Amino acid sequence: MEFRWLGAILIVAGCGGYGFSLAARHRQKERALSDLVRALERMECELQYHLTPLPELCRMASTDTNGMLHRIFLSLSRELELRVMPDAASCMRSVITRFSISSRELRLILSELGESLGRFDLPGQVKGLEAVRRKCFGELEALARNRNERLRCYQTLGLCTGAALVILFI
């Protein structure tokens, strides 16, 4: 009997945990995108007023971001300093493949950022960054839509699935 209860608790906790982790991932993605927007804004300013070279720009972006984005920008900055790849887009591609970015949208946005870097003219470079920033905003808006309901839904669904499995198994 005790084992049954223990099993039931484990199933509910496992499914609930999965639901909660989905909600946490959602929040994490939001945080990463907000960080990226902030970093892009700073990059645009630096470009327009100081013409900061790309490796320094990426190092600055790494200080504006946390977690994986911080590591990605730092790694990109190192890659650019090493001057191994023919262009900035290849450097970014190489960095992205090294990090396993779970969010497909974030991966696409970073690839687009890589493609936009290293343009010949400053206005073109700034516009490229603006376009990436707009895309981030679009993603953030999509994530913010019914955000609370969706997060609650993930958590409740997780718990309910666990409860349903318990009823089925026991």
Partner 1 sequence: MRCAWKELLDILPRWMITDVDALGRSSLQELRLRLDAPPELVSCDSVQRLGRQVSSEDLSYCVNAASRYSPWAAATIAQGFLTVSGGHRIGLCGEAVLKNKEITGIRKVTSLCIRVARDFPGIGSSAAGLRGSMLILGAPGRGKTTLLRDIARQISEKSTVAVVDERGEIFPSGFVRGDRMDVLTGVPKAGGVEMVLRTMGPEWIAVDEITAEEDCRSLLQAQGCGVRLLATAHAGSLDEFRVRPIYKALLDNHVFDYLLILHSDKSYGTERIHTWNSGGLERF
Can residue 124 be called a binding residue for partner 1 (CB under 8 A)?
yes
* Nearest approach, Cβ of residue 158 and partner 1 (Å): 45
Tell me how crowded residue 165 is: count the other CB atoms within 10 A of its CB. Answer: 16
Rounded-to-integer distance, Cα 73 and Cα 60, Å: 8
Can residue 93 be called a binding residue for partner 1 (CB under 8 A)?
no
Q: Are 127 and 146 in contact (CB under 8 A)?
A: no
By CB under 8 A, which span of 22-30, 94-102, 113-121, 160-168 interacts with partner 1? 113-121
Rounded-to-integer distance, Cα 133 and Cα 143, Å: 15
Residue 85 or residue 165: which is nearer to partner 1 going by CB? Answer: 85
* Nearest approach, Cβ of residue 81 and partner 1 (Å): 8
* Nearest approach, Cβ of residue 95 and partner 1 (Å): 13
Subset of 41-60 contacting partner 1 (CB under 8 A):
47, 51-55, 57
Q: How far is CA 112 from CA 43, 109, 115, 123, 145, in A?
A: 15, 5, 5, 17, 24
Which residues contact partner 1 (rule: CB under 8 A)? 47, 51-55, 57, 80, 83, 85-88, 91, 117-125
